[in-house]
Amino acid sequence: MPSVDDDDLPFKVVRTNSRDEVIARAGNLLVGRAAYETAARMYPRDRIEYRHGALVMERNYSEDGRMG
């Protein structure tokens, strides 16, 4: 099985509490979105972001830090 480079998986789900922890990577927008939604449900008290490279596409908290 060929190895997959991180550059081939540009979408990522990151838990950003005290440090950034990548909890999922995907090469497809919809698969990455599903991983983000699942992570947000699994970790409701954690700050979860859906990113494409450095761009934060969605987060489960507001800019002022409130969850929701």
Find, among 47, 3, 52, 53, the residue nearest to 21 by Cα: 47
pLDDT at 66: 74
What is the spatial distance between Cα 49 and Cα 36, in angstroms, rounded to a whole number? Answer: 7
Q: Which of the four pLDDT bands, split at 50, 70 and 90, describes residue 3? A: low
pLDDT at 63: 73
**Quick one: how far is CA 62 from the chain centroid?**
15
Tell me the pLDDT tens digit for each residue of 8-56.
899 999 999 889 999 999 999 999 999 999 999 999 999 999 999 999 9
pLDDT at 9: 96
CA-CA-CA-CA torsion sign (49, 51, 56, 57): negative
Domain range annotation of the chain: 6-59
Contact 67, 44 (CB under 8 A): yes
